[in-house]
């Protein structure tokens, strides 16, 4: 009798073990088959939520592609202005610039690329991109562009894209609400090949009064100084090039690097001209 009970117990445990193993296997297959090409957006979301510092919570990534139906520039601005302001608080990029770029690059959300990828800023895959993607004809046929499940991820990626690339670093020396300097600086940094890119951004900002979103954020205490309150820098912040001056000698004199001097003065080589006025000191107004 005892032997029979022991055998029954062992058989019951064996059935439970096999059932659990089968359940785990089925679940794993289901997860792998959810996406044709599994995006990494969920991993990005978890990482970025740590950086939000309570400013706002990224929408939960359910893996479902969410497309906004937008019929006008005004509706686009109404839909994404708060997101642009939150990005301004988190990364120091004027909300007016972000909105103007979104309007221009996405065709206020109605462009082909925006509709199929939620990519509102035309950011290409680039080396190291591990998220989802799609192909679109741009400068060349069938180029790889980043794809997002929700437009908010596109806005966050745009902020990270500008903040983490050294060629855009000088932009963050500008007052946080000086949209004209930012628009011109983006072109100088090579963000767009269109020579009229700054004028297009400025025209959108002024036509739709997007600068008011910058003013609101600065009014809440973000950004140390208002653009209209910034006083011209003292003459000690500049140096007039004299015969014999080189970038190396000036870097030693003012305790800065050659790279900083070139970045602050938008120089693409080390050549200097006598009488040239160089910025040799700058303040980051966005810290």
Render pLDDT for 235-277 as a digit per residue (tens, 0 to 9): 447 788 899 899 888 888 888 888 888 877 767 678 888 888 8
pLDDT at residue 142 tops 80: no
Q: Which domain does 239 fall in, by range? A: 235-279
pLDDT at residue 97 tops 90: yes
Q: What tokens appear for 102 in the block? A: 């979104």
Render pLDDT for 180-210 as a digit per residue (tens, 0 to 9): 999 999 999 999 889 999 999 999 999 999 9
From CA 62, how far away is CA 148, in angstroms rounded? 12
Q: Are residues 207 and 260 in the same domain?
A: no
Split at pLDDT 50, 70, 90, the class of 179 is very high
Work out the average pLDDT over 153-167: 90
Q: Percent of the chain having pLDDT more than 70? A: 69
Q: Are residues 102 and 215 in the same domain?
A: yes
Q: Are residues 187 and 256 in the same domain?
A: no
Q: Are residues 148 and 246 in the same domain?
A: no
Mean pLDDT of the chain: 75
Q: What tokens appear for 131 in the block? A: 């998220």
**E strands present in the chain:** 133-136, 143-146, 238-240, 277-279
From CA 284, how far away is CA 188, in angstroms rounded? 19
Q: Are residues 164 and 254 in the same domain?
A: no
Is residue 269, in this structure, part of any structural domain at all?
Answer: yes
From CA 184, how far away is CA 195, in angstroms rounded? 10
Do residues 132 and 147 lie in contact, with contact meaning Cβ atoms separated by under 8 Å?
Answer: yes
pLDDT at residue 55 tops 80: no
Q: 162: which residues sit within 8 A by CB, 6+ positions away?
A: 91, 93, 168, 171
**The pLDDT value given to residue 271:** 83
Q: Are residues 114 and 145 in the same domain?
A: yes
Q: Are residues 197 and 254 in the same domain?
A: no
Q: Are residues 164 and 139 in the same domain?
A: yes
Split at pLDDT 50, 70, 90, the class of 170 is very high
Q: What tokens appear for 28 in the block? A: 């794993």
Q: Are residues 165 and 257 in the same domain?
A: no
Length of the chain, in residues: 287
Question: Measuring CA to CA, how many Å separate 100 from each of 57, 62, 103, 180?
Answer: 23, 29, 5, 12
**The pLDDT value given to residue 28:** 31
**The pLDDT value given to residue 234:** 38
Work out the average pLDDT over 104-127: 90
Cα distance from N-terminal residue to C-terminal residue, the chain: 80
Split at pLDDT 50, 70, 90, the class of 18 is very low
**The pLDDT value given to residue 42:** 37
**The pLDDT value given to residue 38:** 35
Work out the average pLDDT over 117-136: 85
**The pLDDT value given to residue 209:** 95
Residue with tokens 């000698």: 249
Q: Are residues 221 and 253 in the same domain?
A: no
**The pLDDT value given to residue 17:** 43
pLDDT at residue 91 tops 80: yes
């Amino acid at each position: 009798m005892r032997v029979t009970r022991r055998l029954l117990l062992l058989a019951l445990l064996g059935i439970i073990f096999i059932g659990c193993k089968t359940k785990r296997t089925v679940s794993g297959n289901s997860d792998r088959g959810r996406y044709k090409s599994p995006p990494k957006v969920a991993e990005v979301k978890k990482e970025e939520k740590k950086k939000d510092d309570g400013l706002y919570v990224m929408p939960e990534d359910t893996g479902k592609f969410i497309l906004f139906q937008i019929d006008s520039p005004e509706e686009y601005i109404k839909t994404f202005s708060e997101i642009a302001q939150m990005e301004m608080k988190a990364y120091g990029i004027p909300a007016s610039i972000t909105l103007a770029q979104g309007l221009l690059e996405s065709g206020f959300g109605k462009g082909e690329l925006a509709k199929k990828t939620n990519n509102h800023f035309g950011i290409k895959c680039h080396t190291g991109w591990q998220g989802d993607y799609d192909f679109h004809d741009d400068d060349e046929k069938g180029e790889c562009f980043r794809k997002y499940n929700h437009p908010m991820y596109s806005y966050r990626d745009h902020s990270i894209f500008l903040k983490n690339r050294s060629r855009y670093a000088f932009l963050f020396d500008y007052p946080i609400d000086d949209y004209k300097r930012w628009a011109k600086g983006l072109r100088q940094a090579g963000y767009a090949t269109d020579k009229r890119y700054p004028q297009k951004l400025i025209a959108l900002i002024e036509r739709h009064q997007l600068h008011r979103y910058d003013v609101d954020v600065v009014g809440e205490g973000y950004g140390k100084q208002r653009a209209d309150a910034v006083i011209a820098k003292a003459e000690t912040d500049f140096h007039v090039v004299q015969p014999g001056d080189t970038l190396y000698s000036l870097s030693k004199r003012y305790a800065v690097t050659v790279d900083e001097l070139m970045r602050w003065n938008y120089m693409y080589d080390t050549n200097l001209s006598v009488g040239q006025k160089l910025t040799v000191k700058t303040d980051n107004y966005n810290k």
